[in-house]
Chain A
Amino acid sequence: MSMADEPLYPIAVLIDELKNDDIQLRLNSIRRLSTIARALGEERTRKELIPFLSENNDDDDEVLLAMAEELGVFIPYVGGIEYANILLPPLETLCTVEETCVRDKAVESLCRIGSQMKESHLVDSFAPLVKRLAGGEWFTARVSACGLFHIAYPSASETLKAELRSVFSQLCQDDMPMVRRAAATNLGKFAATVEPAHLKSDIMQIFQDLTQDDQDSVRLLAVEGCAALGKLLEPQDCIAHILPVIVNFSQDKSWRVRYMVANQLYELCEAVGPEPTKTDLVPAYVRLLRDNEAEVRIAAAGKVTKFSRILSPELAIQHILPCVKELSSDSSQHVRSALASVIMGMAPVLGKEATIEQLLPIFLSLLKDEFPDVRLNIISKLDQVNQVIGIDLLSQSLLPAIVELAEDRHWRVRLAIIEYIPLLASQLGVGFFDDKLGALCMQWLQDKVYSIRDAAANNLKRLAEEFGPDWAMQHIVPQVLDMIKNPHYLYRMTVLRAISLLAPVMGSEITCSKLLPVVVSASKDRVPNIKFNVAKVLQSLVPIVDHPVVEKSIKPCLVELAEDPDVDVRYFANQALQSIDQVMMSS
């Protein structure tokens, strides 16, 4: 071969590496299969590369996974839609491998190709492939087959359709639970393509069988199918066929099944309409809210707001609210936490009166919960309730809760509450904030944990944005600047950080008159860390202040720092000086 010096060399290497001993190289080659295909041309890709890949199914799973992915977008390289069926054989073999993620990817790629294929190809190549896989000796092939029916079905002839339906129903009765699970997972997708007449007869029969499967894992997936099927059926059919099933499921012996129902139930309400919702689904949901398994209650509590939105306010007050009250004092903290994260959303649903009367006591008790997550979840959604009843009613309880969270032992809890302070500030208003929370914000600047100090500095900036520079000048700046006298250098550094964040918000005038002198005086600090941070801050201040100020205060200070004995200080000072020069040059 004489191509070593030609530009083909890398491609030749790439092709050779399809069979290299090093898996990383094979993987790399497979990822660039499109390049190889372009180099070979469309015809040779069809005649050589694709058959080559079909035989290449003995490889490591990582390589097979990459191959399954590449082949999904390979239609342009084999000559367009005309030749799309060429790609099926290699993907078919990939559909039978043992590794689940490879199979899933191959099925995904097959679906992608199938959805672009010509109808004749679908009938001639795709449908037989589905049947072959469905009749495969090993369960892996049959599992893959389940995910392909919805592509093959629409374009099939009447007889073929009947056959596909019967093949699918066989898969739903397979010996292997894995196959039945795959069938249950894909039932909704397949059902969406089936004609309404068959939907009622064949598919409903399959569905009935799956709901009575003796493997819990199959039944749970059937629950997921409920909502999907419900949306496909006419309301009266849905009431006749799906509703009894879901009501049954809501009383299933297995808590995992009930858990799934709790998650899915609200979706079904839309499908069945208001009357059956009232008579059947609300009682079922109430049962789930009072389930004796905490996991089920967690799932149900998390859907309280979504479910209430579907109901009329009267129904919600009558049936759901009593349960919510019970849940707010549930023995499991996770249940209370799930409830707290959604309960604020109920306020707009119930309206002002009911909220004040019924919900407010619950909010207040959750705000006093011993578990910080519960309190945080309430505080994070404060804006929703504020729109309905205003914050004044809550503020009495809010403050102790915030203070307690602000002083929590766990710094992550403190961090979480800091993140919500700007939200609180905007909801509570300046007056309330000044009285109660201002001191807390300053206290965080002196926290022992760096992340808290950093978040506190950021918080000051966001507060300044919220309430404006004038307010900040009065309530933040003096206190912050006062802290520069702190004997510990880490706290002095926090001040510098806060200054650099506040400066852009405060504007040129205040920066020059108040902030800059403090920074300049800090350049005389005895700790080098402070000094080079001064250099950094000064650099960040340059764009904010006017040119004369830079020349008069900032530059001399930096020049002095540039001759510091400490190497880091000199480095950052010089950096700052350079950037000043650049700014000056450009302006």
Chain B
Amino acid sequence: MANPNRWWDGNVGIMNPMTSSDQPPPPPPSLHLTAEDDKPILGTNSNPNPNDFDGENDEESGGGGGRGRRARGRPPGSKNKPKPPIVITKESPNALRSHVLEIGSGTDISECISMFANRIRCGVSVLSGSGIVTNVTLRQPAAAPDGGRGVPSCLQGRFEILSLSGAFLPAPSPPGATGLTVYLAGVQGQVLGGTVVGPLMASGPVMVIAATFTNATYERLPLEEDDGNEVDIISAIEFDKSGDHLATGDRGGRVVLFERTDTKENGGNRKDLEKTDSSTSRHPEFRYKTEFQSHEPEFDYLKSLEIEEKINKIKWCQTANGALFLLSTNDKTIKFWKVQEKKVKKIASMNMDPSKAAGKNSTASSSVSSSTNSYLTNGDKDKSSNNLINDFKFPSGGIPSLRLPVVTYSETSLVPRCRRVYAHAHDYHINSISNNSDGETFISADDLRINLWNLEISNQSFNIVDVKPANMEDLTEVITCAEFHPTDCSTLAYSSSKGSIRLIDLRQSALCDKHSKLFEEQEAPGSRSFFTEIIASISDIKFGRGGRYILSRDYMTLKLWDINMDSGPVSTFQVHEYLRPKLCDLYENDSIFDKFECCLSGDSQRVATGSYSNLFRVFGCGPGSTEATTLEASKNPMRRQVQTPSRPSRSLSSITRAVRRGGGESPGVDANGNSFDFTTKLLHLAWHPTENSIACAAANSLYMYYA
């Protein structure tokens, strides 16, 4: 390392942090929200509110809505130019919009429509057409002698359109998606048909009925059955600090945001909301807000490795100006996202009439876009117009005929933008990321190393922990999870596969290979078995809100540690002790390596973690609390008391908010609690920061439970 650490060195000025990549607007929400009536089984504390999860009305405004309406009629100065199609538009995003296109005599129908599709950046589906055309070039596959690609045949004369159909997509479109098919009647009544390959010249006005659409999604069929469901499986879940937003990530690389709706109606500013929020006993209700594709599958050519798009972790960052910020990571790359409401702008008036400009250039693009090209090719300036401007003498009073463009804003839409990409810093798979309380740094941990980043600087990170031995054969322990202390900016904890948690003080040294505290439980003598080491591996750690307690989850237990007591855990909770005899089976089907997450309630009085058969368990961890509840995440929740004959003093009543995505029913679970379905496991869950509600993910469904 020739270049020693220098990141703390004051404010680092980065000249161009604009690493954002423009993401296309997300496809319409594929999320399907079902309303479910509550069925409290034990009758305690039932929820009075009917479920009003009618999220389907949540229409995202599409990208097509923002196009300016084009002027009607013939633009001045284009007398001999064929008429452009007249467009009748009506704003209604994400729906098919119907159009009647009138195509002037002497113009090529297919070129006109394709131009139109490109201009308004919409797909155009041609439904029907009528009128007379001349000199048609068709390809008739059947007429080809070799039976393969047909030979184009040019038909001279006038024909009447019987039927016209086809589709056009704005560039860039997948090959073969665009095309026009026509049936024609000749003068002697013969009917001809085929694919249009050459010009299709209108002779006299041709009327075309067409529908435009935006956001066509490209699907490759047939769908692979497994993959179709697999990508929907939720792989990360996180509340933001205020609890007003919830984010989930899935195996398909998507991040879905939910917004709390029950506090919004109160109005007032944020702080008021917080206050009223805590005083009322309303249950949090979340509704779909937006979603975006955070990661795409990639291929590492140097290592011949596929990089999955699966989201491993999501973390929320500081909100600013009403925009939401979050970090999402897959195995290798961390991305910093900003989700902001943007006004959809419409230009109401300009100096140059675009249609007239089109006349001047006699190309498909307007003068505005043709000057784009010249600007781009000359680097950043068009020299000729540049000189023109510089030579021009401006009158002192300015030029009255110039106007500023008038912009009107109609609606707002949520725009996710990737602001920064933190890549190429991890040789192994990233298992966790965590923000620092100073608001400017975060860490990312992979199997062997922990790196420290500045949020503003994406091309540099600093290795603070490295457990890689000189010889990889000596490797006995890997990092499984790392998290910053919630308030103390210099403390972080990381857990290992050997079941230990190490606390690090960043102030001590630049390279924190030495821990300041170590939390480990001595194994009971004689209890050692083949599985001891495997099940000791900690899959997740979480700090409690004040930072005094750390909750850890290993395969069989939840452990709560006090950071002031390194002799052993404060308490240990058995999650699914009944599985201990089955460890051998679990090992054989690899379930023993499942990584369950854990969470603490906002007041650190309860802890929760998941198990198999879509069950999750909630334990009271306050002094003297013996609370232990088992809940099932399903549409028909049923409280299960498994093995532990606990006395629920004040327990969570289970009320589902079932939010399911696309996929089918989760497989039925045997209700007697003995046979367990190892394929349905509840790995991810998160506790609302201020209220007694838990969001948990079972396969592709998201459930909200609250007390």
Q: Residues on A close to B: CB < 8 A?
A: 1, 3-4, 7-20, 22, 24-25, 28, 31-32, 35, 38-45, 48-49, 52, 55, 58, 61-62, 65, 96-101, 104, 137-140, 176-178, 181, 185, 214-217, 220-221, 224, 252-257, 259-260, 293-295, 298, 334, 373
Contacts and interface: CB of A to CB of B under 8 A. Distances in A.
A24 B22 CA distance: 13
B320 interface: yes
Contact of B507 (A44, A181, A254): A254
Contact of A139 (B269, B320, B343): B320
12 contacts: A1-B401, A4-B356, A8-B399, A12-B402, A42-B398, A58-B343, A98-B338, A185-B10, A214-B488, A215-B437, A252-B507, A294-B510
B320 A98 contact: yes
Interface string B1-17: 01011001011011111
Given A48-B404, A216-B489, A224-B10, A16 B18 contact: no
B397 A41 contact: yes
A15 B351 contact: yes
Nearest to A48: B404
B321 A255 contact: no
| 8 closest cross-chain pairs (CB), A and B | A41-B398, A254-B507, A10-B385, A12-B351, A256-B8, A19-B405, A98-B320, A16-B350
B578 interface: no
Interface in B1-56: 2, 4-5, 8, 10-11, 13-18, 20
Interface of B: 2, 4-5, 8, 10-11, 13-18, 20, 269-270, 318-323, 325, 338, 342-343, 345, 347, 350-353, 356-357, 360, 367-369, 371-372, 375-376, 380-382, 385-386, 388-389, 392, 394-399, 401-405, 407, 419, 437-440, 456, 488-490, 506-510
Contacts of A255: 507-510
Contact of A216 (B318, B438, B510): B438
Given A1-B352, A4-B357, A13-B371, A41 B510 contact: no
Residue in B380, B395, B397, B510 whose Cβ sees the most chain A Cβ within 10 Å: B510
Nearest to A293: B509
A18 B405 contact: yes
B439 A176 contact: yes
Nearest to A37: B398
A256 B507 contact: yes
Contacts of A40: 398-399, 402, 404
A24 B510 contact: no
Q: Is the interface of A mostly helix, strand, loop or mixed?
A: helix
Nearest to A136: B321
Contacts of B389: 10-11, 14, 32, 35
Contacts of A8: 399, 401-402
Contact of B510 (A62, A137, A176, A293): A293
A187 to B, nearest CB: 13
Q: Is the interface of B mostly helix, strand, loop or mixed?
A: loop
Nearest to B340: A98
A140 B508 contact: no
Contacts of B369: 22
B438 A140 contact: no
A1 B351 contact: yes
Contacts of A104: 13
A259 to B, nearest CB: 7
Given A16-B352, A19-B345, A19-B405, A38 B510 contact: no
A248 to B, nearest CB: 15
Contact of A215 (B322, B381, B438): B438
B667 to A, nearest CB: 45
B17 A216 contact: no
Nearest to A17: B368
A483 B163 CA distance: 84
B381 A28 contact: yes
B270 to A, nearest CB: 8
B347 A10 contact: no
Contacts of B386: 10
Given A98-B325, A99-B419, 19 more contacts: A7-B392, A10-B388, A10-B389, A11-B399, A13-B351, A18-B405, A28-B380, A98-B338, A177-B438, A178-B318, A215-B437, A215-B438, A216-B507, A221-B10, A253-B507, A254-B506, A255-B507, A257-B507, A295-B510
Contact of A177 (B353, B419, B437): B437
A12 B352 contact: yes
Residue in B382, B402, B438 whose Cβ sees the most chain A Cβ within 10 Å: B402
Contacts of A28: 375, 380-381
Contacts of A14: 385, 389
Nearest to A253: B507
Contacts of A177: 437-440, 489
A42 B396 CA distance: 8
A3 B398 CA distance: 15
A58 B5 CA distance: 37
Given A15-B405, A138-B320, A217 B489 contact: yes
A216 B488 CA distance: 9
Contacts of B507: 216, 252-257
A1 B399 CA distance: 14
Given A176-B439, A221-B10, A334-B4, A24 B372 contact: yes
A337 B321 CA distance: 46
A58 B407 CA distance: 12
Given A13-B371, A19-B405, A25-B372, A58 B342 contact: yes
A557 to B, nearest CB: 43
Contact of B398 (A24, A43, A138, A298): A43
Given A10-B389, A11-B389, A140-B321, A4 B402 contact: no
Nearest to B270: A137
Contact of B402 (A11, A32, A215): A11
Contact of A4 (B321, B347, B352, B398): B352
Nearest to A254: B507
A96 B321 contact: yes
Contacts of B385: 9-10, 13-14
A48 B397 CA distance: 14
A96 B338 CA distance: 16
Given A19-B405, A40-B398, A96-B321, A137 B490 contact: no
Contacts of B350: 16, 19
Given A216-B489, A259-B8, A138 B14 contact: no
A260 B10 CA distance: 9
A310 B15 CA distance: 36
A254 B489 CA distance: 11
A15 B360 CA distance: 19
B403 to A, nearest CB: 7
A137 B322 CA distance: 10
B612 to A, nearest CB: 42
Contact of B321 (A24, A98, A176, A185): A98
Contact of B394 (A39, A176, A215, A224): A39
Residue in A13, A35, A221 whose Cβ sees the most chain B Cβ within 10 Å: A13
Contacts of A185: 10-11
Contacts of A254: 490, 506-507
A24 B357 CA distance: 20
A141 B319 CA distance: 13
A48 B382 CA distance: 26
A19 B368 contact: no
B415 to A, nearest CB: 10
Given A10-B389, A16-B368, A178 B440 contact: yes
Given A52-B404, A101-B14, A254-B490, A13 B352 contact: yes
A177 B435 CA distance: 13
B705 to A, nearest CB: 32
B394 A13 contact: no
Nearest to B356: A4
Contacts of A181: 440
A217 B269 contact: no
A397 to B, nearest CB: 25
B323 A98 contact: yes
